[in-house]
Structure 1
Amino acid sequence: MSKRILLVITSLNGGGAEMAVLRMLKAFNAVPDTSAHLISLSQKNDYQDVDPEMVTMLPIANSKSLDSFFKRGKVIQLLQQEVARLEQEQGAFDVIFSHLEVTNVIVAAANFHCPVFYVHHNSIQQELLCAKERGPFKYFKMKQRLKALKNKDVICVSKGSASEFTLPWLPVKSCQVIYNPFDAEEIIAGSQEGGNPYPDRPYLLHVGRFGRAKRHDRLFEAFAQLTGPEVLVLLTKQSSKLTKLIKRYGLEDRVIVAGFQANPYRFMKHARCVVLSSDYEGLGNVMVESLLIGTPFIANDYPHGAKEVLGHWRPEWLAETGSADDLARKLAQLLQQPPQAFQWPDAELFSHVHSANAYLALINKAT
């Protein structure tokens, strides 16, 4: 029996969750007798090759505060109207997958008729801790968003993230783990397009938006301790705050801000090393992509994802959480003794086919 699947996300901003959703959309539509559609709650989009036949973007320009008192009702109504239109034209959806906290609030309030699963991409504890550091209002707002998952069917992108769903104020109906999908052939092909972006300068690479959780301050503190010829390339959008932070560490001549890249893989392929300095990630998509390409990385041993990706294979690639000094030491060691060509033994667990099959098994059980 054919299946109709709807994915919903806040925006198509250039982040890991957004890329994972686009990959899942493609993976679903490659399965016989299965069709999937994606709705973005806003017009925010960093990807130029999105297929309008598969993706609808609601007529809301900015993705900020979509669940606020002033916007929430309008967003819910627009989403309900778009789902009704799609179902009238193409048939009823069998299942809906909601991605990210703001989307979860909107989808939960929309009261759709079919089964809904809420995909959690982050760490509850770390999200709340980060919000608390920004003040009581931010903490309260994040906690209220997370409460949209109460008594819901939840999918987590790592075992570590799933282990947090034991909080007494956040009981869920069910919780299971399905890793984000990665198409190794597509990623490797992308890494071979365009050649080395900096052929005359050896470089380290960091991929990720400029935000508190990514800890660019720790990244710069660690990189400033290195004395080799490498520069640090950031695949993130330029901003005045980022420029000030680079200047604070005296790295104006050693850091290149290359902006968001729809194809980061050629940058990964030619980097001496990929580095992740985050306090937390739901999984760590950049690590998986780097391993598939064959580029080593150094990452903070943050609570969720890092050990699941590496297992016991390369523990020396994980730095002590919160320590810029250990991050610098691990980077220096890797640069002095770069690994030989390697093949990651757990690649199949993170393949798009594996993820799609896990989702489809879940759909068949639910419908």
Structure 2
Amino acid sequence: MMQTKRVAIFIDTLAGGGAEKVMMSLADTLVSLGHQPELIVLTSRFDYELPTNYPVHVLYTDNKAKINGFFDTDKHAQKLTQFIDKLETSGKYDLFLSNLDDCNRIVAACNFSPCYFVIHNSIEETVKRTKLMGPIKYAFLRQCLQSLNGKQLITVSDGIKQELETVKRIKPSSIQTIYNPFNVNKIRELAEQPDADIPQDDYIIHVGRFAKQKRHDILFKALRNVDSRYKLVCLCNKVGKAKKLAAKYGIEDRVILPGFKQNPYNWIANAKALVLSSDFEGLPTVLIEALTCNTIPVSTICPHGPDEILTGELSHYLAPRRNPEALAEKLNDALRSSHQSSTALSNADIFAKVDAIKVAERYLALTN
């Protein structure tokens, strides 16, 4: 039996994003295996409920604190090092895991070991988008990426790994793929919980932050060509902005905006289809969650992840990105098929790669 391992998981916030959820799921699994994960959250921003089965430490408790200053990396790294030194008076960490750009830049300036940096998104697509935001944001992103040179990287999909090895924008000391962990039984249990807010009428669902990357504009354009009997539920933040965009495309009467939900699984399970309209991803968790809940997922073939999740006959539900007409066509196909056997969903190949226990064991192997 493996000796108990103490694992520090760095993340910039616990806002309602996919990387945050993935790391909390990993921590839950590590606890179930008898280990001691701890979340080290750099800033005090929380959408997710705080866990009670493992510690959460906050570096900056002032909710106005910012960590994205161009010249503040060394200052934050020094504070984080002192913070970890204090936590290690009760025992050394066996593994450090860092997530997301701002966090990675700061952790990379520290000397934690063994330390791995988890890449959750397509780097090249992030670079393209950031260039459009102006030279300052682009220079800051370059600084974040350059901080990963010589570091040990983990990618959440093979697509990201292949991109990094092909483009060579980052020169890591090592790179490997470890898929995101999914506790299928827990998700299915949560999917059974009642929620009085769930619509009685048939609906499609989109789960994701209201951000340019998620392409709600493409989603709303597609909805205009989707069977009018179906509403669209968007579980997102920034409800006001989402409502304004829906009005712009003339479909506000078909869009339901309940806001962020701690438990999205019962909403997903009751939907006739789930849709992902993103420009880019890493390994989109919502597609695997839909499969787990026996809901057909429809997705753009964006870099990276959808084509690693929707394989075999499920690949029929992949549409070219930035093409609302094609996305609508695939959604209509899914809606016509929603009553059919769920065998293809429950037997999807991806489940073997994202089993929570196996994924946690891959991470624990890094402590050796």
Question: For this structure pair, what is the TM-score category when the shorter chain's length is used for normalisation?
Answer: over 0.9
Give TM-score, length-normalised by structure 2: 0.93
Q: What residue number does 1:44 align with?
A: 45
Which piece of structure 1 moves more, 329-338 or 50-59? Answer: 50-59
Q: What residue number does 1:163 align with?
A: 162
Q: What residue number does 1:241 align with?
A: 241
CA distance in 2, matches of 1:256, 1:187: 23
Which piece of structure 1 moves more, 227-236 or 205-214? Answer: 227-236
CA distance in 2, matches of 1:344, 1:64: 45
- For 1:1-367, list aligned pairs within 5 A: 1-32=3-34, 34-51=35-52, 53-62=54-63, 65-69=66-70, 71-89=72-90, 91-112=91-112, 114-166=113-165, 167-195=167-195, 197-338=197-338, 339-342=340-343, 343-346=346-349, 347-364=351-368
CA distance in 2, matches of 1:235, 1:203: 12
CA distance in 2, matches of 1:239, 1:337: 30
**Same amino acid, percent of matched pairs:** 35
CA distance in 2, matches of 1:314, 1:196: 31
State the AA in 2 paired with 1:326: A
Q: Report Cα offsets for 1:257-281 as digits up to 9, x if no partner.
A: 1111110000000001100000111
CA contact under 8 A between 2:243 and 2:257: conserved in structure 1?
no
What SS is found at the alignment partner of 1:50?
coil
CA contact under 8 A between 1:65 and 1:71: conserved in structure 2?
no
State the AA in 2 paired with 1:125: E
How far is the alpha carbon of 1:74 from its aligned partner?
4.4
CA contact under 8 A between 2:25 and 2:182: conserved in structure 1?
yes
CA distance in 2, matches of 1:42, 1:353: 29
CA distance in 2, matches of 1:64, 1:261: 26
**Cα distance change on mapping 1:126 and 1:45 into 2, 3 Å:** same
CA contact under 8 A between 1:11 and 1:63: conserved in structure 2?
no
CA distance in 2, matches of 1:356, 1:63: 34
State the AA in 1 paired with 2:191: S
* Unaligned stretches of 5+ residues in structure 2: none
**Cα distance change on mapping 1:62 and 1:145 into 2, 3 Å:** farther
CA contact under 8 A between 1:3 and 1:94: conserved in structure 2?
yes
What SS is found at the alignment partner of 1:149?
coil
How far is the alpha carbon of 1:137 from its aligned partner?
2.3
Q: For the aligned residues, what is the CA RMSD?
A: 1.8
How far is the alpha carbon of 1:62 from its aligned partner?
4.4
What SS is found at the alignment partner of 2:107?
helix
CA distance in 2, matches of 1:56, 1:214: 30
Q: Report Cα offsets for 1:184-218 as digits up to 9, x if no partner.
A: 01100010001574343111100000101000000
What is the number of equivalent residue pairs in this alignment? 361
